[in-house]
Amino acid sequence: MRTKIFAAFAVVLLIGCLGPIPGSRADTDSWPETLSLPAGSPSANSEYEIKLALTKALQQNQLAPDITPALKSADARSVIYSDKCMEQRAQAIRFPCVYGDPNGQDTMWLIGDSHAAQWFYAVNNFAKSAGYRLVVHTKSSCQPQVNSHNKWDFKECADFNNWLLNSIQKAKPDVLVVGLYSGILKLIEPNVFHRLKTLVGSAGTTYLIGDTPKRSKYPPTCLRQNKINVHFCDTSESKAFDGRVTNDTKNWAKQNTSMLKAGSVSKRCALPPLGIWCYSAISRTSLA
């Protein structure tokens, strides 16, 4: 097993999946809603072919000149930020946040913190193609949890979670997609898992997406400064993934058979232009 998460992996991961670091300045270029896939796109390729392409990419030491989207777009925030459907901490007003196929007969919800918001375009593309009405309600630094008065249960978050629970119980979505930042999750696991168990009972199928890797260096800046030596931007696998949170989440999912966890998506989300493998990891489950 490789002990490094190489920069070749990091750049496509960041551009394809991560979106902005919370609190970072958004680039003036907007993130594209859709992209035309180039010939030979890996979107329909097998897992073996994806691993082969990724292995080949790891052998490169120079930054490719034709990264798509451009590296400068890595900081661009998605439309859910401007639509206020990715709420900031102090926001207390809810807005209509319907995407995907607005006329779809089946409904999908995307919830969680900013690490759920980063999956918006992959989930939205799937919702459009599969005919789901996608409802998005995410909030910065706020994970679905029972009221507990901890640091991460600040007033606006507690109010949001109470509203979210009531809304999901009324809506009874066919699909619920949850994304969580492992750095917060590991501090409040019991509270989050308790609330998720309640939410699972109100949805047809629930998907808990594994968190994306942590980076010791911010990839866009590091890669711009090290175009001929991208491996300077490597992050060790031990630092990139929190093994305890991953195992705890998997074990919890096994104990709650109504919840389907979409595998270790974070380790596979590695092919441009819009996180094709992230998208495939969702679409190849029972949603398809």
**CB count, 10 Å around CB of 24?**
13
The pLDDT assigned to 55 comes to 77
Consecutive 10-residue runs of the chain (288 residues): their mean pLDDT? 36 31 30 40 59 76 78 81 94 92 95 92 89 96 90 93 96 92 91 90 85 82 88 84 81 65 37 32 32
Please tell me the pTM assigned to this model. 0.73
Range 4-283: architecture per CATH: 3-Layer(aba) Sandwich (3.40)
The pLDDT assigned to 47 comes to 66
Classified as helix, coil or strand, 152 is coil
| DSSP one-letter code for 26 | P
CA angle 252, 17, 10 (to 5 degrees): 100
Return the domain boundaries, the chain. Answer: 4-283
Task: Encode pLDDT of 96-148 as tens digits.
Answer: 899 999 999 999 999 999 999 988 988 898 899 889 999 999 999 999 999 88
The pLDDT assigned to 220 comes to 83
Task: Encode pLDDT of 228-260 as tens digits.
Answer: 998 898 888 788 878 888 788 877 777 765 554
Handedness of CA 57, 62, 65, 71 (dihedral sign): positive
The pLDDT assigned to 170 comes to 96
145, 195 contact by CB (below 8 A): yes
The pLDDT assigned to 137 comes to 97
Task: Provide the Cα torsion 150, 250, 56, 116; round to 10°.
Answer: -40
| DSSP one-letter code for 123 | H
66, 118 contact by CB (below 8 A): no
